[in-house]
Amino acid sequence: MCADKRTYRVGVIPGDGIGPEIIREAVRVLDRAAEKFGFKLDYIYLYLGGSSIDRFGVPLTDETVEQAKQCDAVLMGSIGGDPVTSPWYRLEPSLRPEAGLLSIRKALGLFANLRFSKLYDDLIDSCPLKESIAREGIDFVILRELTGGLYFGEHKTETVDGEEVATDVLSYSDHEIRRIAVKAFDTASLRGRKLTLVDKANVLDSSRLWRKVVQDVAKDYPEVSVDYMYVDNASMQLVRKPSRFDVILTENMFGDILSDEASMVTGSIGLQPSASLAEGSFGLYEPSHGSAPDIAGKDLANPLATILSAAMMLRYSLGEEEAACAIEQAVETVLKRYRTQDLATDDTEIGKVGCTRMGELVAETL
C-alpha cells in the first residue's frame, strides 16, 4: 500500500486476445467502486505473454517482475493466442506466452490458486446439469497448489534401449503442502467449514504425503470437517452432486483439470474468477478462461470473470470488503436482465449485450 492508507498500487496486465477488452471493463468497475467507497487506485500497466514477446522478444522481463513486486496486487487479462496460427507458438516452449505465466507465478511466490464456482439462481437454465441437481445449489472453491508437482518437476526425453522415453517428475515437500493447507482451512473456516482433499493416495507417494500433512494441519481447525476423495471420484462427483463440496484442496495438475470442469457446471467459464496468492496479502487476479483470439476485438467477450476477479482483489489483497461485496452484488443484479453471448438464452426478457455494455451496466449498478 502507498503512504495514504486508502491508496493502493495495482499492476495491470492487459495480456493477449480479449485480455485488453475485459481488463478495460474491470478497471471501469474498479474506478467506480473506488469513487463510491472512498479509496484510490494507482495503476501501472505491465507486459506479459504474447504482448511481451512482440515488444521485448520474451514472454516475461525482469522489469515486469520487479514492477509487479512493487504493487499491492496485480490484475491480469488472458494470456496466449491461437496455437496453430500465432507465430508465438513457433518459438521454443520457454519463449511462448504460457512460459511467462508460469515464470511470474514462481517469481512472485504465487503458490495458492483460488477458483470460485457459483451458480447464480438466474442462470440455472445455463447449467448443463439436470435442473434437479442445479437447484441443490453450486457454491464451492478450489484451492490448487500452483508452484510444485509435475509442472515444475524435472522433465526430460531420452533414448533408452533404442526407443524414446519421456519422464516428468512429481514431487512435493512438507512445506509446500502445509502452506496451502493452512490457506484452505482458513478459507473453509469462513465458509461452510467443510474441506475435501482430492488426491490419488492409493497410488502416489506424493498424495500420501498430502494426506499426512493435511491431517496434521487439521488439528488446528477442529471446527472444520475434513474428508478425502480420489481424483477420479471427485471428477465424477463434481457433475453428479456438486452441492456436496465447499472447499476443495488439491495439487497442481489435479487442480488444473478439476477447476476447468468446475467452471462448466456453473454455466460458463466466463463467470469464474481466479486468484493466485502469495504468503501475506499479495495476489495476482485473473479470469479462469483463455484469451479467445477468435473473438478478440469484436465486443463479444464476457468481462464478468475479470470483474469478479477484481472484486476478489479488493477483498483478499486490498482489504476493501465492502466494495468487493458491492461489485459481486452488482454482477448478480445485472445478470437478472442482461447476458453476454456465452450466457444468452431465448428468453425475450433477457437483453443480449456486448463486452463494453456489460462493463458499463455493472459500473452503473454500483
pTM score above 0.75 = yes
Please tell me which residue in 121, 125, 216, 232 is annotated as part of the active site: 232
- Residue 269: closest CA among 15, 11, 18, 12: 18
> Catalytic pick from 200, 230, 299, 338?
200
Q: Which of 31, 82, 122, 256 is catalytic?
A: 256
Please state the domain count of the chain: 1
Our answer to whether residue 346 is catalytic in this structure is no
Is residue 7 included in any domain, yes or no?
yes
Residue 348 has pLDDT above 70, yes or no: no
Reading the block at residue 202, the C-alpha cell is 492409493
Does residue 63 lie within any of the structural domains? yes
Q: pLDDT per residue over 200-244, tens digit each?
A: 999 999 999 999 999 999 999 999 999 999 999 999 999 999 999
Residue 353 lies in a domain: yes
The verdict on whether 45 is a catalytic residue reads no
Q: Is residue 291 part of a domain?
A: yes
Say what the pLDDT of residue 75 is.
98
What DSSP string runs through 106-120?
HHTT--EEEEEEE--
Asked about 200 being catalytic, the answer comes back as yes
SS3 assignment, position 124: helix
Residue 81 in any domain: the answer is yes
pLDDT tens by residue, 16-41: 999 999 999 999 999 999 999 999 99
Look up the CATH number of the domain holding residue 68: 3.40.718.10
* In-domain check, residue 265: no
Does the active-site annotation cover 16? Answer: no
Does residue 227 fall inside a structural domain? no
Note the pLDDT tens digit of each residue in 320-346: 999 999 999 999 999 989 989 888 777
Asked whether residue 176 is domain-assigned, the answer is no
What is the domain range of residue 312? 1-108+282-366
